[in-house]
Amino acid sequence: MPAARAFQLLGLATLLLVASFLDERLAWAALALDLGVAVAALVDYRRAARVPLRASRSWPPLLVQESPAEVEVSVDTTARRPVTLILREGLHPGLAAGPLRRRLEVRAEVRWAYSLTPRRRGEHPAGPLTARVLGPWKLAWFQRDLLPAEPVRVYPQVRWDGRVGQLVALAQRRRLGQIPQRMHGVGTEPYALREYLPGDSISRIHWKATARHGRPVTREDTWERSARLVVLLDCARAMASMDGRRSKLDYAVAATLALTRVAAARGDQVTIVAFADRVLRTVRVRSGGRGAALAYEALYDLEAQLAEPAYDLAVEATFDVEPRSATAVLFTSVVDLAAAELLRESLLRLGRRHRALLLNLEDPELRALAAAAPATPAAAFAQVASLEIQLANRRLARHLRRGGIRVVNTPADRLALEALEGYLAIFRGGAASAAARL
């Protein structure tokens, strides 16, 4: 590939051709100059091809969606002269908005560090590291790949700030026995029997032990341990819409993994069912930190499907994976009135056997349409439709609450917090507003 200096010399030859109208000998000079530049550029190209170059790329230990990370590229040469080159990183759109380029002068070794903010979860190819090497006469470039393409994994959010980070950290410490656990409300799991004391609730009297001992005996309960949790993760059409720079499914996956970490740290048995128009994945998570790590491996590349959610199939899958009474948490976003009716029927059926919690992601576009003043008839019709969907969601929530289903309508940025507080509130017997206070 010719370099800028070669084009400058060829431009000079063009001027000689123009001047050859005055003296035809200038035409022969221009032809000789063209031929000389071509030969010199070819020689320079071959010399650039023989320049010894080695490269290595250092990725951070973990790439997380929307979290800046530093990538370092190292290039070294054994050439006697400084080498001019242009490096190009051909990155997948899930990793960067476009390829990155950098011009470098390499004398022995040079390092190029650049910041990378992954845009999408999953496994993406990092294209080959390409170098254009300038020949010693600066007449030609030689292009070659210094590093081959390689797959790179981008994980969902793993580090949490604020209240969510506090809950995750405290759950981990309780698992290690570093701090005592303080709960509010009444426990649910039998712990011991003791003699009846004035003020004890009649509902806590153990009647069989009372008859056996001939005096009132009270049952003491503790907090339920080794509970069972089923997380239903909607991966259908509505979850593909964007909320800022991330999709609804991105937020739901991150919240699911935060909930899994807390539940596994408590010693609970967790099963995650990802579904759209069919069951996509079923992941069983062991208690402890290693189980949560396996959940990240299993869900990091989960993508939304352009299909309608089959809530009834998700409920059937819940009965299959957990036939006994458990807690079921559903992450979804209801923007279709027909889907809302199917969701209502499915959750009421689920609630007959399991304690159910619905986390309904609000749609930012519907909120914006409902709040904005319509400027055109089409905008007015869109606003009416958005208001109808919001009212249908409120009616759905009231109906489900009457059936014993906990319902939380939440924006995406509060999804993880609402999921943790709603889940912990189930075991504390307190109100949802006071849930998860430690």
Helices (H) and strands (E) in the chain, counts: 11, 18
Q: Are residues 354 and 263 in the same domain?
A: yes
Q: How confident is the model at residue 120 (pLDDT cuts 50, 70, 90)?
A: very high
Average pLDDT of the residues in 359-371: 82
Span 323-344, pLDDT tens digits: 888 999 999 998 887 788 899 9
The residue with greater pLDDT, 417 or 34, is 417
User: Strands (DSSP E) along 47-121, which ranges?
Assistant: 53-58, 69-77, 83-91, 100-106, 109-116
Q: Are residues 281 and 366 in the same domain?
A: yes
Say whether pLDDT at 182 is over 60. no
Report CA-CA distances (Å) from 35 to 25, 55, 150, 255, 393: 16, 36, 42, 67, 77
In this structure, of 147-151, 363-367, 389-393, the range with the lowest mean pLDDT score is: 363-367
- Which of 137, 154, 171 terminates a domain? The answer is 154
Say whether pLDDT at 428 is over 80. no
Total domain count, the chain: 4
Q: Are residues 61 and 197 in the same domain?
A: no
Residue 429, pLDDT score: 53
Q: Are residues 204 and 92 in the same domain?
A: no
The C-alpha R_g of the chain, in whole angstroms, comes to: 33
DSSP 382-434: HHHHHHHHHHHHHHHHHHHHHTT-EEEEE-GGGHHHHHHHHHHHHHH-S-GGG
Q: Are residues 338 and 426 in the same domain?
A: yes
Phi-psi region of 139 (alpha: psi -120 to 50; beta: other; left: phi over 0): alpha
Q: Are residues 386 and 257 in the same domain?
A: yes
Residue 192, pLDDT score: 63
Beta strands 279-285; 141-147: pairing state: unpaired
Span 209-254, pLDDT tens digits: 888 888 888 876 554 556 889 999 999 999 998 888 899 999 999 9
CB-based contact 29:16 (threshold 8 Å): yes
Average pLDDT of the residues in 401-419: 92
Residue 87, pLDDT score: 94
Span 309-319, pLDDT tens digits: 999 999 999 99
Strand ranges of the sheet holding 279-285, from the earlier edge strand across to the other edge: 279-285, 269-275, 228-234, 327-332, 355-361, 406-410
Residue 356, pLDDT score: 94
Q: Are residues 229 and 195 in the same domain?
A: no
Residue 325, pLDDT score: 87
Span 51-71, pLDDT tens digits: 999 999 999 999 999 999 999
Q: Are residues 209 and 296 in the same domain?
A: no
DSSP 239-286: GGSEETTEEHHHHHHHHHHHHHHHHHHTT-EEEEEEESSSEEEEEEE-
Q: Are residues 229 and 218 in the same domain?
A: no
Report CA-CA distances (Å) from 355 to 125, 339, 370, 432: 42, 21, 33, 14
Task: Let me know how long the chain is.
Answer: 438
Residue 186, pLDDT score: 45
Q: Which domain holds residue 31?
A: 4-49
Q: Are residues 69 and 132 in the same domain?
A: yes
Q: Are residues 339 and 425 in the same domain?
A: yes
CATH code of 142's domain:
2.60.40.10
Rounded percentage of the chain residues whose pLDDT exceeds 70: 89
Q: How confident is the model at residue 23 (pLDDT cuts 50, 70, 90)?
A: low
Average pLDDT of the residues in 158-180: 72
Residue 309, pLDDT score: 94
Q: How many Cβ atoms sit within 10 Å of the Cβ of residue 231?
A: 30
Q: Report the predicted TM-score, pTM, of the whole model to 2 decimal places.
A: 0.78
In this structure, of 115-124, 168-177, 271-280, 406-415, the range with the lowest mean pLDDT score is: 168-177
Q: Are residues 339 and 362 in the same domain?
A: yes
CATH code of 287's domain:
3.40.50.410
